[in-house]
Amino acid sequence: MSFPSGHSSNLPPEHVGFVTNRLAMTETPMTSAVAGIDVGGDKKGCHLVVLQGTSILSSINSKTPEDFVHVCAEHGVIAVGVDSPCQWRGGDGARQAERELARERISSFSTPTPQLAVSNTKNFYGWMFSGERVYQALASIYPLLKERAYSGGRVSFETFPHAIVCAMLGKDVASAKQKRTQRRQLLERMGIDTRMLKSIDEIDAALCALTARFLLEGKTYSYGDATGGYIRVPAAT
């Protein structure tokens, strides 16, 4: 997915200033607001969770990506983790990040070329187009982090709940069959009150937000390269 650097959202000017003011008051990554977005197709929409410390400040579902920008701005969010590919596959094979995950026996969706995605008659890749719109909406305030290391400022980035769980619990422990229970327990183990999270989509969005907090703390690992985009997960402990 390639996004124009000059893309702008419909965010009111006063919200941009609000973000700046909140950032000025931020002292530590633990007290900073972060967010995660679980991306779905046109029917289901996407889910956003805003996290500050161990508290969930907001959890919403919307089919309009600009809604997420507004909510993030209102809460002074610094980093947004998105569960969707940040780049389409090039003509030279799978993205480097996906190849690296596969070598570690971590399964993931294979991102197609945009031409292949468009030609799919069953709209299997519709959720990836939703993710593209999410990144585009975020771009003016939360530009995609294109470097391997985070050096500060407001950013968005790609992450992946299954890989997050593999990083935090181990590949042999992470279970797709038990993901609802396992992922909620993982959040609770980190001290997060999960009572607001009613669905697996909200739980996954919270995991993405937790990874955003680790990003601010300098505790993430990046799969991939600048060409195909990075997938970031918590650094293994």
Give the contacts of 215 (CB within 8 A, at least 6 positions apart): 34, 79, 81, 150, 155, 157, 232
Residue 172: CB partners within 8 Å, gap ≥ 6? none
Tally of structural domains, the chain? 1
Give pLDDT tens digits for 112-153.
999 999 998 888 899 999 999 999 999 999 999 999 999 999
SS3 64: coil
DSSP 236: P
Q: Does some domain include residue 4?
A: no
User: Is 23 inside any structural domain?
Assistant: yes
Instruction: Let me know if residue 3 belongs to a domain.
Output: no
Predicted confidence (pLDDT) per residue in 92-116, tens digit: 789 999 999 999 999 998 999 999 9
The CATH number linked to 66 is 3.30.420.10
Give the strand pairing for 79-83 and 155-158.
parallel
Instruction: Read off the pTM.
Output: 0.87
- Specify burial of residue 4 (Cβ count, 10 A radius: 0-12, 13-18, 19+): exposed
Domain assignment of residue 191, given as a range: 13-143+152-234
As a whole number of angstroms, the longest Cα–Cα distance in the chain is 49
> Residue 33 falls within a domain, yes or no?
yes
pLDDT at residue 201 greater than cutoff 80? yes
Residue 120 within a domain:
yes
